[in-house]
């Protein structure tokens, strides 16, 4: 995670795609897992007014989602605090391969934790809730028999020209189509793909890509063969997908 931490601490990187949710802190602070559940409810509430959490659990239709969050990285450098958060997802008390990490920075440790919780919910929320039957975000993409639920693209860059269009979203998913199809024969109904890619000014990349929460060198290789452009822009790209088998 060192190269990721360096990027997030760097003053030249600012968030342009993800918006931090209001802090979930109160006089009696809920634990980390409960805060993640509350943040996830806030993402899904526009689509389901009755959606609510009880501790770390959320009922979605006939299923109960339970979140288990923990801090993996806790740093203080100069005037900034950095928190690396990891969240496991259980559906009806069965651990799902949907673990995802987020990074939060802040002027104090509490602000960094709140940011990490919010960024996790924003990155994962639509894809996770959509895969469990809620009508949130865009309609899923279809690849073979698989349905692909996509979270919002996250971009960090100091260059205001850097954007990520719907066409780029489709182009990237088409590029990964062969890789995604390999999940058709994997056991289990739900799977995840997460991308974190640092794009240099010349279009070359480094990154960390995961399938079902495990680092995948073959997925990173596929990502590095994607045409990211070479217009001189430097940015960090993040994307989370939930893949649902019929």
No. of H helices and E strands in the chain?
Answer: 6, 12
Contact indicator for 18, 104 with CB cutoff of 8 Å: no
Tens-of-pLDDT digits for all 246 residues of the chain? 444 555 544 434 433 334 344 444 333 467 999 999 999 999 998 876 678 899 999 999 889 999 999 999 999 888 899 999 999 999 999 999 999 999 999 999 999 999 999 999 999 999 999 999 998 878 999 999 999 999 999 988 888 788 888 899 999 999 999 889 989 888 899 999 999 999 998 888 999 999 999 999 999 999 999 998 777 888 999 999 999 998
Contact indicator for 100, 114 with CB cutoff of 8 Å: no
Long-range contacts of 139-144 (CB under 8 A, 24+ apart): 140/244, 141/170, 141/173, 143/173, 143/177, 143/180, 143/181, 144/181, 144/184
- What's the farthest any 2 CA atoms get from each other in the chain? 50
Q: What predicted TM-score, i.e. pTM, was given to this entire model?
A: 0.85
């Amino acid at each position: 995670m060192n190269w990721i931490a360096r990027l997030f601490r760097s003053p030249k990187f600012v968030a342009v795609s993800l918006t931090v949710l209001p802090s979930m802190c109160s006089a009696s602070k809920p634990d980390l897992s409960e805060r993640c559940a509350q943040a996830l409810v806030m993402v899904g509430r526009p689509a389901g007014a009755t959606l609510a959490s009880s501790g770390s659990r959320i009922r979605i239709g006939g299923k109960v989602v339970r979140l288990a969050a923990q801090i993996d990285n806790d740093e203080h450098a100069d005037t900034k605090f950095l928190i690396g958060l990891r969240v496991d997802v259980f559906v009806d008390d069965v651990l799902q391969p949907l673990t995802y990490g987020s990074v939060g920075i802040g002027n104090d440790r509490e602000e960094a934790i709140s940011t990490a919780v919010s960024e996790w919910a924003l990155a994962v929320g639509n894809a996770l809730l959509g895969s469990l039957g809620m009508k949130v975000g865009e309609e899923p993409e279809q690849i073979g028999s698989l349905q692909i639920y996509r979270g919002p693209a996250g971009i960090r860059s100091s260059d205001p020209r850097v954007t990520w269009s719907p066409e780029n979203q489709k182009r990237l998913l088409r590029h990964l189509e062969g890789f995604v199809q390999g999940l058709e024969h994997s056991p289990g109904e739900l799977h995840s793909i997460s991308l974190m890619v640092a794009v240099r000014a010349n279009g070359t990349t480094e990154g960390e890509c995961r399938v079902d929460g495990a680092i995948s060198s073959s997925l990173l290789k596929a990502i590095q063969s994607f045409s990211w452009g070479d217009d001189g822009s430097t940015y960090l790209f993040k994307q989370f997908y939930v893949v649902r088998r019929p």
